[in-house]
Amino acid sequence: THLSPFHHSFQDMEKEILAACGKGDPEEILSSAFKLKITREDIHTLRNQCWLNDEVINFYLGLVMQRSKKEDYPSVYAFSTFFLPKLTMDGYKGVSRWTRCVDIFKHDVIFVPINSNLHWSLVAMDLRVKSIHYFDSLGKNGDDICQVLLKYLQQEMREKRKEELDMSEWMLHSMAPHEIPQQYNGYDCGVFMCKYADYLSQDRALTFSQSCMPYFRKRMVWEILHQVLL
């Protein structure tokens, strides 16, 4: 029989999480995949009341992409956290080579993680229904970011497929605070962002809340160490 991640006892998982979050060489590599290395220092950003860093977020989105290759899951592509700053700074030319090995239009959902003034948020572009949604756990508005990314899609389509994307067919929307789970502190935005991606990549309703965050942080430590989403 195929052993699922759930054959690990809760005590074992807890022990492993505590060890990774505990004392040790900050440079020690605890997990590597997707051309990324996660050190103990990176894992420590998943301790309560810490801000998640780029490494943890990019690795987690790598796990989301990996799972999306399974049957019955929407096909997902996630850009790195460094994509939007590069696009903003250098325009389309600055990122046109980022997708030379991938046709993003073959995917159902594209995620763009965003870090603005130390705050993480997420854009989800659903190619199945031609929508671009902005998810922010502090309820901020991201209409301008959605516009930038729609323009990126148009240029990418032109460049890679020599086709015109009709912008008028697309629906752009910043999720209002009452529409999605919101954070009530100054440090959980990265976890919210990862969980938005986790749930959306399964076409699941966003049914979590602030109270889930300490549990999600522990769970993410385990998932990163084992390179599999529970």
Number of domains the chain contains: 1
> Which residues sit opposite 37 in a β-bridge?
32
Task: Let me know if residue 117 belongs to a domain.
Answer: yes
**What is the distance between the alpha carbons of residues 42 and 31, in angstroms, rounded to a whole number?**
10
Q: Is 16 helix (H, G, I), strand (E, B) or coil?
A: helix
* Enzyme catalytic residues: 119, 136, 189
Question: Is 77 contained in some domain?
Answer: yes
Measured CA to CA, the distance from residue 130 to residue 123 in angstroms comes to 13
DSSP-assigned states of every residue in 56-108: HHHHHHHHHHHHTTSTTS--EEE--TTHHHHHHHHHHHHHGGGGTT--GGGSS
Residue 24 included in any domain = no
How high is the pLDDT of residue 166? Answer: 87
Rounded to the nearest 10 degrees, the angle between the axes of helix 143-161 and helix 83-95 is 30
In angstroms, the first-to-last Cα distance of the chain is 18
Cα–Cα dist 172/130, whole Å: 9
Taking the C-alpha atoms of residue 185 and residue 191, their distance in angstroms, rounded to an integer, is 12
Q: What is the CATH number of the domain that holds 57?
A: 3.40.395.10
Q: pLDDT by residue for the chain (230 residues), tens digit each? A: 344 555 667 888 889 888 888 899 999 998 899 899 999 999 999 998 889 999 999 999 999 999 999 888 999 999 999 999 999 999 999 998 889 889 999 999 999 999 988 899 999 999 999 999 999 999 999 999 999 999 999 999 998 888 888 888 999 999 999 999 999 999 999 999 999 999 999 999 999 999 999 999 999 999 999 999 98
Report how far Cα 50 is from the mean position of its chain's Cα atoms. 17
Distances (CA, A) of 154 to 149, 160, 167, 201, 228: 9, 10, 8, 23, 34
43: containing domain: 32-226
Q: Quickly count: other Cβ atoms within 10 Å of residue 139's Cβ.
A: 14
State both tokens at 120. 């993480």
Helix, strand, or coil (residue 140): coil
Does residue 4 lie within any of the structural domains? no
d(CA 38, CA 27) in angstroms, rounded, equals 9
Q: What is residue 170's three-state secondary structure?
A: coil
Asked, for residue 10, whether it belongs to a domain, the answer is no
Q: What is the pLDDT of residues 44-57, one digit of tens each?
A: 999 988 899 999 99
